[in-house]
Amino acid sequence: MKKIISILCTLGLIGCSAATYGFELDNSDKSLTVGCKSAYMMDSNSGECIYKQNECERLPIASMCKVMTLTLVLDAVDSGKLSLDDTVTVSDNASGMGGSQVFLASGCKYQVDQLIKSIVVCSANDSCVALSETIAGSEDSFVDAMNKKANELGCNDTLFANCTGLPKSTQYSCAKDVAVMFRNLLKYENYFDYSKIWLEDFIHPDNRVTSMTNTNKLLKKYKLCDGGKTGFTNEAGFCFTATAKKDNMRLISAVLGADSSDHRFASTVNMFNYGFNNFRNKTILDKDVVLNDEFAVSGGKKQSFAVCPEKSCYVFIEKDKEPEIFYNVIANQAKAPIAKGQSVGTIEIYKNGILYETVNAVAAEDVAKANFGDNFKNISDKWAI
């Protein structure tokens, strides 16, 4: 028999402030002006849209296509196909890439970790091609995988023709798709090991040194920003996708076709300020706090045990609104032994009557299997009653 517990969560609204410098957060501003051809902003946790402007218009995105390049590279690392300590032998093709680069030497071996860093920090085209050839055998095969992944993410207004973003008439995306792809990239936590680097030297095997400076200027101008990818060509204009975090809310933005580098960064800051001023994530469940009700267990040294959510859960809300939020805890039949952290049910979170998120309920403690003496005692206790 499944046990269902319904709990109504009362929402308390709090103010939002941010420690920023360079671009200051204006807590009184509830309007938003974005000076670019296309823009999109979402809450990273829920994927809910906060702002959109011509968000599905197909436009060139220049080096922002490296968001997908990095996704496939970090996925290869995550799956074990590639190790950060592996070395890559650079081909003539890779070393001959134009545009932004770290000037890889043909025939030389470079560590995967170095190449990833050069892509994130200074948008190195030669490193992109070197890694694409290593992972897929050729850049063309890698691009096929990029398009396949875009389709899996529902990015229907995206088509890649290379892994660098160098101009090609058959390559395009849109602000919404870029934000969706960047959100997916951020699930790889080691991305942030690279994205926060401002200045670093790239050391070549022949002891040459290429200085790398992060193209994301908001790292120095907007303290909440901890990741992003720029793009520029004459065809694309100035583009930028970025992320910023305040307390438990992470926002993701994308702007395409700004007329200057300053305008793309200012537009992004305006979007983030608007998001932090007017929205927040309400904590519904804390993974470190046990639920009020215990689950029954059969065959154990004890008859019930404490449970907690597998992860902390938040609901994205407007600050001046109070939606009805509740959750149902659904207990599976539990039989000892049970290990702490073991999944024992689910928790369904609802916002205004609509299912918002489902998370596992896990045991907050171990429950050992009962022995003969425990069973005899349980029977004796029942007779005594």
Cβ contact 150:138 at 8 Å: no
Angle, alpha carbons 76-232-198 (nearest 5°): 65
Which residues are annotated as catalytic? 63, 66, 123
**φ, ψ dihedrals at 196, nearest 5°:** -90, 0
**φ, ψ dihedrals at 143, nearest 5°:** -65, -40
Which string of DSSP letters, residue by residue, matches 224-283?
TEEEEEEEEETTTEEEEEEEEEETTEEEEEEEEEESSHHHHHHHHHHHHHHHHHHEEEEE
Helix or strand run (H / E) with residue 3: strand 3-9
CA distance 344 to 295: 9
Measured CA to CA in angstroms, residue 45 lies from 40, 85, 243, 281 at distances of 15, 31, 12, 9
User: How many residues belong to the chain?
Assistant: 385
> Which residue do the tokens 């993701």 mark?
252
CB atoms within 10 A of CB 92: 8
- Produce one character per residue of 291-322: b if its CB has 16 or more CB atoms within 10 Å, e if not: beebbebebbbeeebebbbbebbbbbbeeeee
Assigned token pair, 224: 């909440």
Measured CA to CA in angstroms, residue 182 lies from 27, 29, 81, 230, 303 at distances of 27, 27, 22, 12, 47
DSSP secondary structure code for residue 309 in this structure: E
SS3 31: coil
DSSP secondary structure code for residue 85 in this structure: T
Assigned token pair, 384: 């005594």
